[in-house]
Every structure is written in C-alpha cells, then in structure tokens.
Structure 1
C-alpha cells in the first residue's frame, strides 16, 4: 500500500506536479474516473484496520499535546465512520458525470474542471478522502494540507488514494498532501497557485485561512445557527429542533446555538424549555434583555452572538419585534442555516424572504448529512459559492456556439 509520491523539494514543485497531472484526469472518460473511485472503495474496505490503527496513533499523540475536545471528537474514526466513507464512494460512483456536455437552445454547455483545488483542514481526516473523491469525479487535482493531529490518518488515506490512481494508470501526483507544518502563506502565495481553496475547521481557523488568502475560497460553515421562536411556536417543537440539530457527527454543522424570542413570549414556556434542555446536558446563556429577568444564567458576551460555540450551549435573547429579529440574524448569524418555529404564515414568509442564510428550516429540525447530499458541508458566504459544497462547485461552464 505504499505508492506515495516523493517528497517535493519545495511547495512550488508540488504545485507544478499537480498542475501537470490535472489535464490527465480532466481528459479521462467518465468510465476511467469512476474506475478510480471503485478501486478507492476497494482499498478502503481492505485496509480499514490499517486506517484505524493510524488513527489511534493520531489520537494518542493529540492527547499528549492537549488537543481540544472538539478536535479530538472530529479526529476519532470508528468502523461506522469508515463505512460512511465507503458508502460515500458508492453513491459518488453512481452519480451522473459532472463533466457531461449538455445541449440547449443557446448552444452547447461544456463543464470544465476548475483545475487545482486546495484543502486546508483541521481535525476531521475523512475530509481529505471525501474531497479527493469529488476532485477525481470532476477531473480536478487536489493538494491537501492537514492539521498536525491528523498526520498518521491523513497519510494512510493518501496511500489508499495513490494505490487506486496507480492501479488505474493515472499520475499519483493528481492528489498530493503537504506536511502539516507548511505555513499557510507558502500555500496561498505559490506562483502556480490554487484555483480554489476550501478551508474546513473551527470558525477561528477558517477565518485565519481566509485572512491569508487573496484567491477564491470556499469556506465550510459550522455552528452559530439561529432560531426565531414566534409567539405561536410550540415549545415542544423548539425543543426538538434544538436537540436534533446537535445530533449530527462528527461536527454539528446545523446546530442551533442562538434563539431569538419576542418580548411577549410566555415566560413559563421559556422556563420549561430551559429546564428540558438542561436535562439533556445543554448550558443556557442569556442576553441582556432576558438576563434582567432571569439572573441565574450566565450572560452572553457581545462577541458570542457572531461566533460558534461548537458545544451544547444555547444562548437566548428577546428582540422587540420581527423586524429587529431579522436585522439581528442578518448581522450576527454566520451559520449555514436559520430555523423558524412559528404557526404564523406571515412570520414564516417574511423570515424566509429576508433572512440571508443559505438554508431556512420552517417548523422542522435542521438536518445535514454529507452522505445524503454528497457535499463536504455548507458555505454561508455571499456570492456564487454559497450553499452545499459538492460536485457543482468544482466545475465551471463554457458555452460553445456553432455556425
């Protein structure tokens, strides 16, 4: 299982090798690209034990380095998580060819691979496997820079990918990995650079990557999702929406961490909800408007409203009216989804039309599954790259007109 490419003399040389390999995978037929995915799935099944052993080494090293509990939870692989990776490859294998030419009244549309993709991540080693498979399906090359705590697992997965590429007679430099110690500035400043950089991790990590990148980034958002609880919303529904939104693993992408309520909401309903959440292990925090009435809870610092907890913490605040709630969410809600609990058609319609979150969930718990959506996550940034991050974001389109 040792097919790793030689260690490059420099980051620039690694990029050059990837750029040279990318046209090869881009011009392959759909059958060849699917063959690599099939071989990769085969490698994953045959080497599950080796991957888990490598992951154990990462876990032991990370505990010695006092890695945060959040990253440790993301890092830990199980048989179930590895099986999810295999199921992902099977679904991707059967997905339509993203490079298939389509014909319309305005001409032929030619999907074009975007070229060289970069992935900078922390904590979740399967992210490299999922991203590599998307790149292989779309004819792109990939360079990964993992975080230090994933070194062994990332290398084990890279070996599987290189084995699959070698068996398909494709250049293994199509998918490469840099050392975790490579500075971000060395990646983003490379002359023969990236066409797209995908940062994944805690919001502070993603922000750091974006600050050092002048090119196109596609950040994956996690946490800091808001819920607007209207006066007609049922407390049992709100409880279910909050609880279920925190159940995804390893990262609760759509976790509701902030709740806004109107001032006239029955306070006994709030007390019931807080008690119910407390029994489920949640910590409750209050904004200044509610803290004045309920002094037993910790107050929310101002900067917390626009940051993710990534823990079982939910902050509540009362807003004067619906308009104030919309303004608040659009100003501070940096998460990929917004939820609404209300039986008022007007409230639901107004919020769905004016909230700028990529996804709005009305009276149902927000959910996200990488396997079901074949996406790496959800991007909350404004503009072209927004919403689910999947096959569609890794191709561009060229229109060809005939005489």
Structure 2
C-alpha cells in the first residue's frame, strides 16, 4: 500500500473521502438543486474567466522552468474558447435534467430499469485544468461525488477552479464537499492512495498513456481508462481518396487533444500507384509527418520508416504511419491486435465490407465512411464527454453521463 508524505496522511484522505461519499448521497436526492448548481457553475466559470487565465499564466511560467513536454504544455494552456466550452457544457447539462426510468412492462410481473449514481468518482489527470469543471458537471448531473487529483504543473489553475466550483455548489444549497481535490503538494504518491481507497467507486485516469497505464497497475478499485491516439483506418479497394483524406485530416482537429486522431492507415494494394502517393502529398502539404513500412515507403525521401513498435503506440501528434493490408479480414486482425481499441475506421463503398467491419472490429466505437473527430461539447447534451475509452459497453466508448451511472433492475409483482 502506498503512503503519503508528511503533508497528507492516508487517515486525512480517508476522512475527506468519507465526507465526499456522504455529500454525494445528499446531492443525489434533488435533481432540481443539482440543475441549479450546474447553472451556477457555468456562470461562475464565465464570470471568473480572467482569474482562471491569470492563474494559468503563472502555471505556464513555472512549467517552462520545469521542462514540461510541449504536448503537456499545450494541454495546460487555457484559452477563453476552452473556458467558454466548459461553461457551455455546464449550462447544457443543467438544462438536460436527469434520465428517467423506463416505463414498467405490462405483465403480471413488471420490470423497471432505472439509473442510479455510482457513488464517488475519481479523476486522475495531468494538465487539462478545464476537465475538472466538465467532470464536476457530469458528476453533478448524475448525482456522484467527485475526487480530483490533478498534476503539479497545473496546481494554481486547479486551485482557482476548485474554489470557484465549491462556491457555486454551496450557492445552490448543496454540500460543497461533494467535490474534493487532493492537493498537489501532497506529492505524486497521493495519486495512488486515492485509487486504492474503498471509498472510490470508479477511477478515470486522463492524460498520456504512461499515466493511464500506471494508474491501472496501481488501482485496486474499478478503472475506466481514457484512450487517446493510435486509431486505425482501413482504406479498402473501393474507398475514395478524398474521403480518406478528410477522415484523417478532420480526426486531428480536436483541440487541444485529438483524442480520435487517425495515426495508422492500412491500405489495400489497389491504391499503390495513384491513390496513396496523392494522399501522402496532401498530408505532407498540411504539415503531417508520414511514416511507413519499408515495403510501402519505396524509397521516398519524405517518408520516414516506421519502427515495429510504432503500430501499438500513440504518437499524439500529426503523424500517420502506413502499411499494406490485402483485405478487410487482414486489416481487422491487425487492428484488433495493435490499435488502442477506442475508435477504428473503415473507408469503403462496399456494403458487405461495412457490415463485416461493424461485426468483427473490436473497438468500442467503429466509424464507417465518417470522421472519428471527437467533440467534447457534442451536439446532443447526452453525448457530452470527458473523452473516450476502449472499454466496450460503456456508452460506445464515450466517457460521459452513461459511464457514470449504474443500471438497477426493479421487479414488481402483480
């Protein structure tokens, strides 16, 4: 068992988590109060935008001294647009209301399926200060308590956002300790204390794959791992060049995290002479880096050779690697062995291929002739989400409202 340093004992954390659980049980009782709290949260993020951005500037200055990787700095750097998106999500969740149980079946013994909160959810994340507000919104809407463990690189921004959110929740006459943040000053070990506490019902790790895998190894409670990058596309013999280009290009437009970025493309040899070179030229012109196996690169100086381990790794950049796949079965087999498993794609005009792909690909989400681009603030409020997971059966891989509730069956006798 991991223990914390002198600034935070397991006893103190356990006491705080107990308060979160009791508060979660209280907030679950009133949908109207939670709607009011969500509206307050959205308004507070908008009203205190300048204070949040000022704290974020300080974190960014410190991060430069800490030699934080550029990728994490991009995730850390807030903009007015990112904060507005978080505020819009909170307002939309406020207006959404709670999901109602389905109507009972008209039989002598009636069965009702209803949704109930999980209890206490923990978000372990690096950078992304705005995710704390979105996670709080999702947990409030579903009646869950929330425990936050952010990275040291965002400590000042995270604290300002926490204070704003707790004040907004209290203004709706709900217990503000339904939201608790483990102080960054307690050190990295506290990250693992909270993922080993029985008071936590679900842990969501969010960040680079190394963080996600580390949490999964250390956790003794259920984990819903987020996934990012290493999404595959199979360009079948009948697939159209323009469509393939758009699917790849749009998948990388997520800001600041292209969660469903297509980083690997399996190509049918029918595109060897015309389609593939044209696709490469268009992607290179857009600033992509192209990698490929030696057999497909054919000596082009603008194409870097892919390493064998690349096929199972996330680049988390505008980099795409290519290899041949003679048919759909071969492509699906390769995807199921090497992709991240949260969002894989097919470009085809063959109906039978699309049906086979949907049946056999193992990804939590499958896209046929559609861009997999991830929208955190989706068109439907029910589809708002933190990110994506490769856990099949959790709302199609979306880490959203449905991932934060449990289904309970109620049986009524006649």
Shorter-chain TM-score tier? over 0.9
* Counterpart in the other structure of 1:397: 407
Q: How does 1:280-291 map to 2 (within 5 A)?
A: 280-291=286-297
* Counterpart in the other structure of 1:3: none
Q: How does 1:214-363 map to 2 (within 5 A)?
A: 214-291=220-297, 294=300, 297-363=303-369
Q: Distance in 1 between the 2:355 and 2:113 partners? A: 35
2:20 to 15, 18, 21: 18
What RMSD over aligned residues (CA atoms) do the two structures have, in Å? 2.0
* Counterpart in the other structure of 2:71: 70
Contact 2:136 2:179 in 1 (8 A): yes
* Counterpart in the other structure of 1:212: 218
Q: Taking structure 1 as reference, are residues 194 and 385 closer, same or farther at Cα in structure 2, changes over 3 Å only?
A: farther
Structure 1's consecutive aligned runs of 4 or more residues displaced over 4 angstroms after TM superposition are 292-296, 383-386
Contact 1:326 1:355 in 2 (8 A): yes
Give 1:256 deviation, angstroms: 0.7
2:159 to 135, 155, 161: 155
Q: Distance in 1 between the 2:162 and 2:115 partners? A: 27
Give 1:385 deviation, angstroms: 6.7
Shifted more, 343-352 versus 196-205: the winner is 343-352
The reply on whether 1:187 has 2:194 as its aligned counterpart is yes
Could you tell me the TM-score, scaled by structure 1's length? Answer: 0.93
Q: Distance in 2 between the 1:390 and 1:87 partners? A: 15
TM-superposition CA deviations, 1:291-350 (whole Å, max 9, x none):
456565222112211111010100000123322111001111114211212222222222
* Counterpart in the other structure of 2:128: 124
* Counterpart in the other structure of 2:98: 97
* Counterpart in the other structure of 2:38: 37
Question: Unaligned 5+ residue runs, structure 2?
Answer: 1-7
* Counterpart in the other structure of 1:4: none
Q: Distance in 1 between the 2:267 and 2:251 partners? A: 18
Question: Unaligned 5+ residue runs, structure 1?
Answer: 1-6
Contact 2:196 2:221 in 1 (8 A): no
Contact 2:342 2:365 in 1 (8 A): yes
* Counterpart in the other structure of 2:3: none
Give 1:290 deviation, angstroms: 1.5
Shifted more, 146-155 versus 351-360: the winner is 351-360
TM-superposition CA deviations, 1:194-234 (whole Å, max 9, x none):
10001111112111111111221111211111110112222
